[in-house]
């Protein structure tokens, strides 16, 4: 398991690399300044002795080479800066400190069937803790997986194998993150690009425009060649240039819109091409990553070519260059035709390339979790409706203070009633089960030494919210949640259900009666249920239905006027309470009360 010192060492390594690169950049700047002075002297001397102009060739060539080298080193420095930042955040992450990793709050939905209850998104969330996606595509895919749990057994096993393989590739994973973060693709609207992919060409394969864009420039350039030797042909050259500019002008508005759609995608896709290149150069063995590797090899050159073609089209934004370009070559038509040709050849593939990138970018997050916590188990699939776990805990609780518990459900009891005092750990335990269930369903390591689970749906009722806007009370919102769970169960859908202190909005007698009747129904349905409650009277249901309902509890201890918890799950019904003790201790009620 890598420690915070491990990441600190890597952080310092990349910091030193940045400093070395910065020294080289400054050296290149001074060398360029020196060459500029030398060329200035040659130019001044050239007005007296023309052969000095010929002497400009060598220093000018060196100057251009230095500019390219300096640009290359600036890119390397930017990459090293991001790697330094990443390792700084990784060090904070393994210390369970707040980080700047994206928290996915835009994916949060208070009405989701379990996401809000399990703190999947938002500040300090599961998503923020595991997220190492380098693109918005990857973040969207990771969030989708966490919310939908879409994978079947074979897909799950393939993902687990890929996560194991990627986990060992720390340099590759961090390089991908650092490259991806150099472009903010959050504002990238893929829908406009996808619409463009489905459109028909208006220049490419149009017979009239094909003839025009080849024949007219050929005539114009021929006249240009003649004009060089005979200036009397210049009026004819000028007329041909004007004709071509006018023809290009007829489509200028449409080409301008064409350009605006693609310009927003150019830098993003150029960066995606660099990410594809990294995977194309990486050796992989797992079947799933081999599939993505093959796609990356195909996509790298094509996506890079697309970015270059869009860049070429954008040169029309220079008014002088575009007049000469269209006047001599009908440049706009050729630039658009090349992009339309690219579209015809790759329109069906680009969405698949982006889909592939989104999946393996999401897998890198799970791989980092595996690398940081190699003792976390991968889920095993149970064909029977049985959940088995050993040393299960919540991954957001630091190892030093986290208490893990063994827990089985469906062996044979399919309903567990978890009782306990306030703050004893009931809700955290339910969230531990829920979060690990979600992680296990997407191929991630889980915070347990063993996690064997059925591939069934997950539903929860733990943190129901009211809505003034929808004129819905808290209690009615909770009933709606329970109603939707029962409707899905009655439709035959197997489910894993987590409920925390249901029916809080009614009196204790009504609450107990409603809870009893609900549990009596659930025991005969295709569901695994864990219900946390303060109502210890419900514990007698385990005596009436011993093969279907069981009791477990978390207990607290009051010694020397101090309340402590061991957060260990025990068999049976809780026997201790702490509300009155805490109220007396905090001065809410007098010491002699009760």
Q: How confident is the model at residue 470 (pLDDT cuts 50, 70, 90)?
A: very low
Crossing angle between the packed helical segments 234-250 and 207-229, to the nearest 10 degrees:
160
**Spatial distance between the Cα atoms of 478 and 317, rounded to a whole number of angstroms:** 58
- Average pLDDT of span 17-26: 94
Q: What is the pLDDT of residues 308-338, one digit of tens each?
A: 999 999 988 888 778 888 999 999 999 999 9
Residue 487 has pLDDT above 60, yes or no: yes
Strands 387-392 and 450-453: antiparallel
**Spatial distance between the Cα atoms of 168 and 583, rounded to a whole number of angstroms:** 52
For 296-310, give the DSSP string.
HHHHHHHHHHHHHHH
Q: Is 349 helix (H, G, I), strand (E, B) or coil?
A: coil
What pLDDT is stored for residue 384 in this prediction? 95
Residue 6 has pLDDT above 80, yes or no: yes
Q: What is the pLDDT of residues 109-133, one digit of tens each?
A: 998 999 999 999 999 999 999 999 9
Asked which of 147-161, 241-255, 337-351, 554-568 is least confident by mean pLDDT, the reply is: 554-568
Nearest Cα neighbor of 191 from 300, 354, 304 is: 354
Q: What is the pLDDT of residues 373-418, one digit of tens each?
A: 999 999 999 999 999 999 999 999 999 999 999 999 999 999 999 9
Residue 466 has pLDDT above 50, yes or no: no
**What backbone phi and psi angles, to 5 degrees, belong to 262?**
-85, -30
What pLDDT is stored for residue 467 in this prediction? 45
For 402-415, give the DSSP string.
---EEEEESSS-SE
Q: What percent of the chain has pLDDT over 70?
A: 95
**Spatial distance between the Cα atoms of 98 and 84, rounded to a whole number of angstroms:** 17
Q: For residues 563 and 581, is the Cβ–Cβ distance under 8 A?
A: yes
Nearest Cα neighbor of 141 from 291, 354, 408 is: 354
569-573: long-range pairs with CB below 8 Å, 24+ = 569/405, 569/406, 569/407, 569/418, 569/429, 572/539, 573/417, 573/419, 573/536, 573/539
What pLDDT is stored for residue 464 in this prediction? 61
Output 464 or 474, whichever has higher pLDDT. 474
State CA 514 to chain mean position distance: 42
Nearest Cα neighbor of 530 from 417, 408, 405 is: 417
Q: What is the pLDDT of residues 222-248, one digit of tens each?
A: 999 999 888 888 999 999 999 999 999
Asked which of 396-410, 518-532, 554-568, 574-588 is least confident by mean pLDDT, the reply is: 574-588
**Mean pLDDT estimate for the chain:** 91
User: What is the distance between the terminal CA atoms of the chain, rounded to a whole angstrom?
Assistant: 51
What pLDDT is stored for residue 360 in this prediction? 97
What pLDDT is stored for residue 576 in this prediction? 74
- Average pLDDT of span 453-464: 91
Q: Is 392 helix (H, G, I), strand (E, B) or coil?
A: strand
What pLDDT is stored for residue 583 in this prediction? 63
What pLDDT is stored for residue 468 in this prediction? 40
What pLDDT is stored for residue 471 in this prediction? 38
- Average pLDDT of span 502-513: 82
Q: For residues 52 and 46, is the Cβ–Cβ distance under 8 A?
A: yes
Residue 8 has pLDDT above 80, yes or no: yes
Q: Is 387 helix (H, G, I), strand (E, B) or coil?
A: strand
Q: Which residues, 6 or more positions from 188, have their beta carbon under 8 angstroms from its beta carbon?
A: 136, 264, 265, 268
Q: Is 287 helix (H, G, I), strand (E, B) or coil?
A: helix
Residue 367 has pLDDT above 70, yes or no: yes
42-45: long-range pairs with CB below 8 Å, 24+ = none
pTM: 0.90
User: What are 422's two structure tokens?
Assistant: 């306030």
Nearest Cα neighbor of 212 from 329, 320, 339, 325 is: 329
Residue entry with tokens 């600036």: 74
Q: Which helix (H) or strand (E) holds 418?
A: strand 415-420
154 class by beta-carbon count within 10 Å (0-12 exposed, 13-18 middle, 19+ buried): exposed
- Secondary-structure breakdown of the chain: helix, strand, coil percentages, each rounded to the nearest 5: 60, 10, 30
* In the chain, domain spans: 1-101, 190-364, 377-585
Nearest Cα neighbor of 537 from 409, 413, 419, 416 is: 419
For 428-475, give the DSSP string.
HHHHHHHHHHHHHHTT-EESSSEEEE---EEEEESS---BTTTTB-HH
- Domain spanning 377-585: which CATH class is it, in words? alpha beta
Q: Which helix (H) or strand (E) holds 343?
A: helix 331-346
**Spatial distance between the Cα atoms of 240 and 248, rounded to a whole number of angstroms:** 12
Residue 469 has pLDDT above 60, yes or no: no
**Spatial distance between the Cα atoms of 344 and 199, rounded to a whole number of angstroms:** 10
Q: What is the pLDDT of residues 60-99, one digit of tens each?
A: 888 889 889 989 999 999 999 999 999 999 999 999 999 9
């Amino acid at each position: 398991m890598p420690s915070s010192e491990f990441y600190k060492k890597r952080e310092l390594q990349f910091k030193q690399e940045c400093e070395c690169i910065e020294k080289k950049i400054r050296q290149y700047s001074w060398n360029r300044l020196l060459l500029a002075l030398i060329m200035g002297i040659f130019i001044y001397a050239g007005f007296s002795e023309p052969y000095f102009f010929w002497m400009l060739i060598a220093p000018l060539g060196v100057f251009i080479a230095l500019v390219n080298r300096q640009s290359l080193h600036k890119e390397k420095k930017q990459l090293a800066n991001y790697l330094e930042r990443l390792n700084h955040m990784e060090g904070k992450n393994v210390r369970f400190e707040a980080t700047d990793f994206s928290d996915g709050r835009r994916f949060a939905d208070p009405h989701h069937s379990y996401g809000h209850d399990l703190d999947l998104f938002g500040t300090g969330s599961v998503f923020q803790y595991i997220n190492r996606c380098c693109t918005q595509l990857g973040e969207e895919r990771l969030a989708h997986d966490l919310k939908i749990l879409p994978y079947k057994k074979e897909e799950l096993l393939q993902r687990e194998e890929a996560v194991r393989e990627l986990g060992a590739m720390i340099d590759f994973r961090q390089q991908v993150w650092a490259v991806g973060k150099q472009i903010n693709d959050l504002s990238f609207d893929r829908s406009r690009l996808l619409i463009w992919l489905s459109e028909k060409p208006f220049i490419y394969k149009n017979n009239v425009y094909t003839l025009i864009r080849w024949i007219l420039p050929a005539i114009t350039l021929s006249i240009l060649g003649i004009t060089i030797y005979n200036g009397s042909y210049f009026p004819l050259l000028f007329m041909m240039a004007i004709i071509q500019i006018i023809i290009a002008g007829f489509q200028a508005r449409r080409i301008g819109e064409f350009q605006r759609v693609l310009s927003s995608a150019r830098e993003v896709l150029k960066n995606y091409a660099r990410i594809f290149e990294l995977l194309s150069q990486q050796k992989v063995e797992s079947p799933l990553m081999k599939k993505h590797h093959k796609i990356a090899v195909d996509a790298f050159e094509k996506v890079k070519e697309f970015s270059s073609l869009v860049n070429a089209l954008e040169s029309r934004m220079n008014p002088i260059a575009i007049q000469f370009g269209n006047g001599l070559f009908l440049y706009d038509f050729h630039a658009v035709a090349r992009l339309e040709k690219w579209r015809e050849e790759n329109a069906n593939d680009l969405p698949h390339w982006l889909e592939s990138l989104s999946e393996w970018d999401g897998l890198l997050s799970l791989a980092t979790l595996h690398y940081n916590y190699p003792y976390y188990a991968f889920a095993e699939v149970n064909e029977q409706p049985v959940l088995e776990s050993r040393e299960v805990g919540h991954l957001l609780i630091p190892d030093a203070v986290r208490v893990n518990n063994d827990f089985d459900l469906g062996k044979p009891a399919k309903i567990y009633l978890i009782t306990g005092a306030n703050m004893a750990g009931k809700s955290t335990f339910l969230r531990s089960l829920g979060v690990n269930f979600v992680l296990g369903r997407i191929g991630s390591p889980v915070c347990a030494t063993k996690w064997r689970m059925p591939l069934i749906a997950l539903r929860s009722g733990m943190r129901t919210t009211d809505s003034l806007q929808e004129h819905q009370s808290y209690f009615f919102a909770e009933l709606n949640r329970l109603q939707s769970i029962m409707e899905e169960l009655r439709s035959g859908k197997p489910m894993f259900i987590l409920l925390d202190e249901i029916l809080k909005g009614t009196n204790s007698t009504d609450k107990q009666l409603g809870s009893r009747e609900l549990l009596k129904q659930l025991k005969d349905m295709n569901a695994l249920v864990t219900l946390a409650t303060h109502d210890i009277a419900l514990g007698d249901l385990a005596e009436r239905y011993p093969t279907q309902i069981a009791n477990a509890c978390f207990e607290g201890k009051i010694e020397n006027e101090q309340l402590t918890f061991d957060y260990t799950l025990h068999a049976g019904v809780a026997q201790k309470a702490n509300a009155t003790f805490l109220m007396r201790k905090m001065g809410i009620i007098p010491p002699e009360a009760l």
